[in-house]
Amino acid sequence: MKEREYGLDNLRIFAAIGVIYIHVVTVFINSVMATGDMLGLSVLVFFRNLFSFAVPAFILLSGAFVFAADSTKDRKSFYKKTFRRLVIPTIVFSLIFLLERVVIGVTTAGVPITVGLVWNELSHLIPDTLRGEAMSHLWYMFVLIALYLMAPFIIRIKDFYGEKGFKKVSIVLLIWGIVGNLIYVSVNSDNANFGIRAYWTLDNVINYLGLFMFGYTLHEWAKGIKEKAGRAAKVVGFIAIAVALAFIKFILTINVQITIVQDFSALNPFFVVAACSLVVASTLIRGRIHFNRLASATYWVYLVHPLVFFFYERIVTAINGITRSEYVSQIQNLWSNMGLELLISTIVSFVIGVLIEMILGRKKNK
C-alpha cells in the first residue's frame, strides 16, 4: 500500500489558509493604507507575498499525483472521475457565485428591483461566468480542468521519452510559461482589457502546463533525496528559501514600481520557486502528526470560502446596522474586523469542506 505523505497534506492545508488570508486582506488593505499605518501595511503585504505560493503549489501537487498514477492512462475512467470531481462542482459553484453577484448588484443599485434590472446584471455577469470567472478565484478551477483533460495524453510523453525526457520537457515548458506570463503582464498592464480572456482556452492553459508537469519531476527528485543524510537541514533550508523569496518580493513590491515586480499571478517566478521549495520541504518531512481529513477538504475550502465571506459580512453588517463599505473602513475596528473575518471564515470553510467530503465519501461507499 502506498504510504501517505503527510507533509504534502499539511502543505495543502497551509496553502488553503493562505488563499483565505489573501482574499480577506484584499478587502481591507485599502483601509489600512488610508490609516497611514505603514508597519501594519508592511506586515499584510509581506504575508500576502508569502502566501502567494499557494496556487502554484496546488498546481505542482496536482501534477505530482496525476502523472505518478498509472490510472491516468485510462482515459475513460480518468475523465469520468475528472467530470465528477472537478467539472460538476466548478459548474455548480459558478452558478452559485453568479447568483450571489446578481443579488449584490440588484440590492445595492438603490432603485426598485425589476426584471429589467436583474437582466441588466446578468448581461454583464454571464460573460465573466463563461470565461471562468463567476468569482475571481474560479479561474484556477477552469485551468485545472483543462490540464486534467490534457493529462492522459501528456503522460504518454513519460512512456515514450522516459523519466529524463519528461523532466526536460517539463522544465522547458515551465520556463516558457513563466517568461510568457511575464511578457503578457508587462505588455498588457496598461490595457483596459487586461485579463479579459477565457481561462480554459489553450492560449492561457498552456502557460501552466510546464508547472503542472514539473510537479511530478520535482516530487520524484525530492523523494530521491529523502533517505540521504542531512534531511532535517534540507527541510529547514528549503523553507528558508521560500521565506527569503517572499521577503525579497515584499521589499521589491514596496520600493520598485515595475509591473513585473508588482505582479501577483501564480506564474510569478518568486512564487513559483517558493512553491517548489515548499513542495520539496514537505516531501522530505516524515511527519507523524497529520490532518488528512482537513487536507482532503482543501479542495472544497477553495471553492466555498468566498461564499462564507459573503454570508459572514452580511450577518455582521446586519447586526451592526452598517453597510459593507462602512464595515471594511471602520478605523477603530479595522484590525479586529479583519482578524475575526479571517479566523471565522477559515474555521467555517474547513468545517463545510470536511462535511462535504464526508457526505460524498459515504455516498461513494454505498
Q: What is the pLDDT of residues 45-79, one digit of tens each?
A: 899 999 999 999 999 999 999 999 989 999 999 99
Taking CA atoms, 96 is separated from 22, 92, 129, 164, in Å, by: 22, 6, 11, 44
Which amino acid, 1? Answer: M
Report residue 260's pLDDT band, with 50, 70 and 90 as the boundaries: low
For the cut 60, the answer to whether the pLDDT of residue 161 exceeds it is: yes
Q: Is residue 21 part of a domain?
A: no
| Total number of domains in the chain | 1
Q: Is residue 94 part of a domain?
A: yes
Q: Is residue 325 part of a domain?
A: no
Q: Is residue 295 part of a domain?
A: no
pLDDT, one tens digit per residue, over 289-301 is: 678 889 999 999 9
pLDDT, one tens digit per residue, over 180-210 is: 888 777 766 555 445 546 788 887 888 899 9
How large is the average pLDDT for residues 22-49? 87
Q: What is the pLDDT of residue 264?
A: 84
Q: What is the pLDDT of residue 1?
A: 44
Query: Which residue matches cell numbers 543524510?
Result: 229
Mean pLDDT computed over every residue of the chain: 87
Q: What is the pLDDT of residue 360?
A: 85
Report d(CA 324, CA 104) in Å as an integer: 11
For the cut 90, the answer to whether the pLDDT of residue 366 exceeds it is: no
Nearest to residue 329, comparing CAs of 21, 20, 23, 32?
32
Report d(CA 145, CA 139) in Å as an integer: 10
User: Length of the chain, please?
Assistant: 366
How many C-beta neighbours within 10 Å does residue 195 have?
Answer: 14
Read off φ and ψ for residue 69, nearest 5 degrees. Answer: -95, 125
Q: Is residue 358 part of a domain?
A: no
Query: Which residue matches cell numbers 473602513?
Result: 329
For the cut 90, the answer to whether the pLDDT of residue 82 exceeds it is: yes
Q: What is the pLDDT of residue 41?
A: 86
Q: Is residue 330 part of a domain?
A: no
C-alpha cell at 297: 477538504
Q: What is the pLDDT of residue 120?
A: 82
Helices (H), the chain: 6-35, 38-50, 54-66, 75-82, 88-107, 115-130, 139-188, 202-224, 231-255, 259-262, 269-284, 292-320, 324-329, 334-365
The pTM of this model reads 0.91
| Domain around 124 | 37-290
Q: Is residue 349 part of a domain?
A: no
Report d(CA 334, CA 337) in Å as an integer: 5
How many C-beta neighbours within 10 Å does residue 365 have?
Answer: 6
Q: Is residue 252 part of a domain?
A: yes
